[in-house]
Chain A
Amino acid sequence: MDKKIFGNKKVPFKVPENYFESFQVRLPQNTYPFPGENNPTGGLLSIVKPWLTLAAGILLVALVYTQIPKWFVQEKLTTTVTHQNEDSLLNALVLTIDEEFIQEWLLEGEIPIIIPIDTAAWPTSITEEEMAMLTQFE
């Protein structure tokens, strides 16, 4: 072949310094482990690892969907519970209090209506206006 065209057959490229010397050292460490070397559990871990990652991902998504909405409605939920508690308390109190006691308590401090003892003094007939006046409470 004409050397003027094809040159001296030398490959016109070079490699970084110590490339070939370091290649053998780099290969097992960076690309794959030799069996039984460095990490004896590497095989099992390499099988389980993708599944663990998947499970962790699903768990994370579930937490995000269930917990984050609760943070936003936490205050509302607390208020509702308080109201429910107040109603229950009132109902319980109602059951324990005597009705007569409540009536007495309501009438306490009221101005009593003075009705003449002598019924003879009562008018024999009473008009509607008089009745209204008698029964009017201030």
Chain B
Amino acid sequence: MSPDDKEILNLMASPDKKEEAFSLLLNQHKERLYWHIRKMVLLHSDADDLLQNTFIKVWNHLDTFRGDSSIFTWLYRIATNETLNFLNKKKETLLNEPGDLELLMIDQITHDPLFEGEEIQKRLQKCILALPEKQRLVFNMKYFDDLTYDEISEILGTSTGALKASYFHAVRKIEAFIKNEVF
């Protein structure tokens, strides 16, 4: 457990310091969580909503956190669940056509004024969108967030072996998409 985590846990232990603990936690992790969510949902407005929901849940369950895992892992898990639930609901509203959500999101990348990447980055994002959701999540966490397999395993509740295989397949698929100019 990091010194920051210990400090936050100590503050959380006393009810009158709960707000202070929450502020510390929010300041330390909001940006990292935002980018984690944003890479999955792509749109800023969606990411903003989900980040707010994540911190509301964190606030509401602050008392239940016992420090069995690191605060960072706990926050990532909440944010990931919020994001996956959001994507599933969005899929349900799109007439249950598989692939509809991915097409919509690819279109959003093309027209999003908050997308500032080069062409190669845009192509990479389109390739990532074509991956199955879990592979996409693993790829983002490993490639962009530089999380270790152990950390990802703790967040997603999946074995490291399965994660390694998932990441390997994701990389191979993206390479194939780019080389074959699918996107």
Contacts and interface: CB of A to CB of B under 8 A. Distances in A.
Interface residues of A, number: 23
Contacts of B115: 12-14
Contacts of B124: 5-7
B117 interface: yes
A27 interface: yes
Nearest to A3: B120
B23 A13 contact: no
A137 interface: no
Contact of B174 (A5, A16, A20, A34): A5
A11 B44 contact: no
A25 to B, nearest CB: 11
B42 interface: yes
Contact of B34 (A2, A15, A27, A34): A15
A31 B27 contact: no
B14 to A, nearest CB: 14
Contacts of A31: 52, 55-56
Interface in A18-73: 19-20, 23-24, 27, 30-32, 34
B156 interface: no
B116 A32 contact: no
A9 B174 CA distance: 14
B122 A12 contact: yes
A12 B125 contact: yes
A95 interface: no
A111 interface: no
B118 A12 contact: yes
19 contacts: A5-B175, A6-B124, A7-B118, A7-B121, A7-B124, A10-B117, A12-B115, A12-B125, A13-B112, A13-B117, A16-B44, A19-B44, A20-B30, A20-B34, A24-B30, A27-B55, A30-B52, A31-B52, A31-B55
The 9 closest A-B pairs by CB, nearest first: A12-B117, A12-B121, A7-B120, A7-B121, A5-B178, A14-B116, A14-B114, A31-B52, A31-B56
